[in-house]
């Protein structure tokens, strides 16, 4: 099949590369000439494990190309994917300017029967608007389909190749058949393809992300109670996670969620519900808990040194291990590290941070307010406090003995609960996690 993907951001580039890997002929389109030039030269603008290899193999196999020419790219395409950004507006609602702009741009150039697919995360009813824009401009034979993505940053390639499910919103039998053909290389069972109404598919995306965000906020709220009552939240997690009705995923206590999806989608669904008169009290609470949780790690440090005002950390060196909002990505959008760093710097601390891949993206956000180390050992070498902000495997593999040998510091605040409290204590560290009794 010939597939055109409009937008080469995280969603568009991953989808285009994976469809090409599955044997389809794919052209990824973007109006940013510098990005397209870089992609043609083999430069990948985002960090995603395995993506560079998939792109290189597909380009070498002449199944994947890049272009700024929308008209030529969508002509004769079997499927055209809209995969551009939907940034939150001032009120938190999704901005559809780019999505509807793409619909206007592609409409005059569609030929033959075309399935236009909304891959961007969009509010309920957006596909209706896209179709209205297309119908105003063209009489081409087409169907508009909702096909939200459910990929995890850091594991997107694996998720695409082996999906839990593929949600496809359409009532058209022709569109169903074409989408089934498109995803055939990636699904092993017919029940992995979930066909439903377009609006149901659009709502499913928001509901999934908001459910996961709610689980995270619930466990972080439990961690706060555990802190006060000398209970280990990890024991609680094991106790409830083995209940089949609950499951063990997204129950890790920490310093809050970030990234491009959860914060934006919680806000968007919250505003959508409120716009139709629904009291979205649960989602409001999820936002409040998450915002407070991003402050917990810095607040623990300030309290330890005896002053909520922060005078106690003035002039002290604080090592931050991790900057990206989660491991296996360089994404700094809504990262808890931003709040932690800004609070500590405002309190007068000298922050030295290390992240395996997010140094450049972090600098774009935090600039020179903090120092950036080349290795974790460099970050902790002269530290008065060591903090864990992102749970990279590299950090999980650090033994207490290794850490003790690398720094004179014996005070650790573990914002992701990656280290064993008893082993840390045995190595001479004063250790505090999230929802764990301090040692």
DSSP secondary structure, 266-308, as one string: HHHHHHHHHHTT---HHHHHHHHHHHHHTTHHHHHHHHHTT-T
Q: Is the pLDDT of residue 356 over 50?
A: yes
Tokens of 232: 């280990």
Long-range contacts of 34-41 (CB under 8 A, 24+ apart): 35/8, 36/8, 36/66, 36/67, 36/68, 39/8, 39/13, 39/66, 40/66
Confidence of residue 318 (pLDDT cuts 50, 70, 90): very high
Q: Is the pLDDT of residue 90 over 80?
A: no
Confidence of residue 310 (pLDDT cuts 50, 70, 90): very low
Q: Is the pLDDT of residue 87 over 90?
A: no
Q: Is the pLDDT of residue 281 over 80?
A: yes
pLDDT (0 to 100) of residue 343: 96
**Mean pLDDT on 177-189:** 96
Q: What CATH class does 206-292 carry?
A: mainly alpha
Beta bridge partners of residue 19, listed in sequence order = none
**Residue 275 CA, distance from chain mean position:** 26
**Mean pLDDT on 256-283:** 93
Tokens of 157: 């390639």
Element (H, E) at 196: strand 193-196
pLDDT (0 to 100) of residue 305: 87
Q: Is the pLDDT of residue 10 over 80?
A: yes
Backbone angles phi and psi of 25, in degrees to 5: -95, 115
Q: Please tell me the distance from the alpha carbon of residue 72 to that of residue 110, in angstroms, as a whole number.
A: 10
Q: Is the pLDDT of residue 106 over 80?
A: yes
Across the chain, what does the average pLDDT equal? 95
Q: Are strands 350-354 and 317-321 parallel, antiparallel or unpaired?
A: parallel
- List where CATH 1.10.1040.10 sits in the chain: 206-292
Q: Please tell me the distance from the alpha carbon of residue 181 to that of residue 119, in angstroms, as a whole number.
A: 17
**Mean pLDDT on 31-59:** 95
Tokens of 165: 């499910």
Element (H, E) at 80: strand 79-82
Tokens of 374: 């080349």
Strands (E), 113-152: 114-118, 142-146
- Name every residue whose Cβ is closer than 8 Å to that of residue 22 and which is 6 or more positions away in sequence: 185, 186
- List where CATH 3.40.50.720 sits in the chain: 2-196, 294-432
pLDDT (0 to 100) of residue 260: 85
Confidence of residue 309 (pLDDT cuts 50, 70, 90): very low
221-225, 310-314, 424-428: least confident range? 310-314
Q: What positions carry a catalytic annotation?
A: 261
pLDDT (0 to 100) of residue 432: 95
pLDDT (0 to 100) of residue 311: 62
Question: What global pTM score does this model have?
Answer: 0.92
pLDDT (0 to 100) of residue 308: 47
- CB contact at 8 A, 372 and 363: yes
Q: 67 by DSSP, 3-state: which?
A: strand
- CB contact at 8 A, 412 and 418: no
The secondary structure of 311-329 as a DSSP string is GGGTT-EEEEE--SSSTT-
Looking at domain 2-196, what is its CATH homologous superfamily?
NAD(P)-binding Rossmann-like Domain (3.40.50.720)
Beta bridge partners of residue 118, listed in sequence order = 82, 146
Cα torsion 333, 337, 339, 340 to 10°: value is 180
User: What is the CATH number assigned to the segment(s) 294-432?
Assistant: 3.40.50.720
Q: Is the pLDDT of residue 49 over 60?
A: yes
Beta bridge partners of residue 80, listed in sequence order = 4, 116
**Mean pLDDT on 23-29:** 98
Q: How many residues does the chain have?
A: 439
Proportion of the chain above pLDDT 70, given as a percent: 99
Q: What is the pLDDT of residues 109-149, one digit of tens each?
A: 999 999 999 999 999 999 999 999 999 999 999 999 999 99
Q: Please tell me the distance from the alpha carbon of residue 16 to that of residue 340, in angstroms, as a whole number.
A: 36
Tokens of 103: 């619909």
Confidence of residue 307 (pLDDT cuts 50, 70, 90): low
pLDDT (0 to 100) of residue 439: 87
């Amino acid at each position: 099949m010939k597939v055109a993907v409009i937008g080469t951001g995280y969603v568009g580039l991953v989808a285009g590369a994976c469809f090409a890997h599955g044997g389809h002929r794919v052209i990824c389109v973007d109006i940013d000439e510098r990005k397209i030039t870089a992609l043609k030269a083999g430069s990948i603008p985002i960090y995603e494990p395995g993506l560079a290899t998939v792109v290189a193999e597909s380009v070498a196999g002449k199944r994947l190309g890049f272009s700024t020419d929308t008209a030529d790219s969508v002509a004769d395409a079997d499927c055209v994917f809209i995969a551009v950004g939907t940034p939150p507006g001032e009120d938190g609602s999704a901005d559809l300017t780019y999505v509807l702009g793409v619909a206007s741009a592609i409409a005059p150039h569609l030929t033959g029967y075309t399935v236009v697919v909304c891959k961007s995360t969009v509010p309920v009813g957006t596909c209706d608007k896209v179709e209205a824009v297309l119908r105003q401009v063209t009489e081409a034979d087409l169907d508009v389909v909702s096909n939200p993505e459910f990929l995890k940053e850091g594991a997107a390639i694996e998720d695409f190749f082996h999906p839990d499910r593929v949600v496809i919103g359409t009532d058209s039998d022709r569109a169903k058949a074409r989408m089934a053909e498109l995803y055939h290389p990636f699904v092993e069972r017919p029940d992995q393809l979930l066909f439903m109404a377009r609006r149901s598919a659009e709502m499913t995306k928001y509901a999934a992300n908001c459910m996961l965000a709610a689980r995270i906020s619930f466990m972080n709220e439990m961690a706060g109670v555990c802190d006060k009552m000398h209970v280990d939240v990890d024991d609680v997690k094991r106790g409830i996670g083995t209940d089949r009705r609950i499951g063990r995923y997204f129950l890790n206590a920490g310093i809050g969620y970030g990234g491009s999806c959860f914060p934006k989608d919680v806000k968007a669904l919250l505003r959508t519900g409120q716009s139709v008169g629904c009291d979205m009290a649960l989602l409001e609470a999820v936002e409040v808990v998450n915002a407070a949780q991003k402050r917990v790690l810095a607040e623990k440090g300030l309290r330890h040194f005896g002053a909520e005002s922060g005078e106690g950390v003035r002039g002290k060196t604080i090592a931050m291990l991790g900057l990206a909002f989660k491991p296996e990505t360089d994404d700094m959008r809504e990262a808890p590290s931003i709040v932690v760093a800004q609070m500590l710097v405002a309190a007068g601390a000298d922050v030295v941070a290390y992240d395996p891949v997010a140094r450049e993206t972090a600098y774009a956000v935090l600039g020179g307010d903090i120092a950036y180390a080349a290795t974790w050992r460099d970050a902790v070498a002269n530290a008065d406090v060591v903090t864990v902000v992102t749970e990279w495997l590299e950090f999980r593999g650090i033994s207490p003995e290794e850490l003790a040998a690398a720094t004179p510091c014996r005070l650790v605040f573990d914002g992701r609960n990656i280290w064993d409290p008893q082993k840390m204590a045995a190595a001479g560290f004063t250790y505090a996690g999230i929802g764990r009794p301090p040692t």
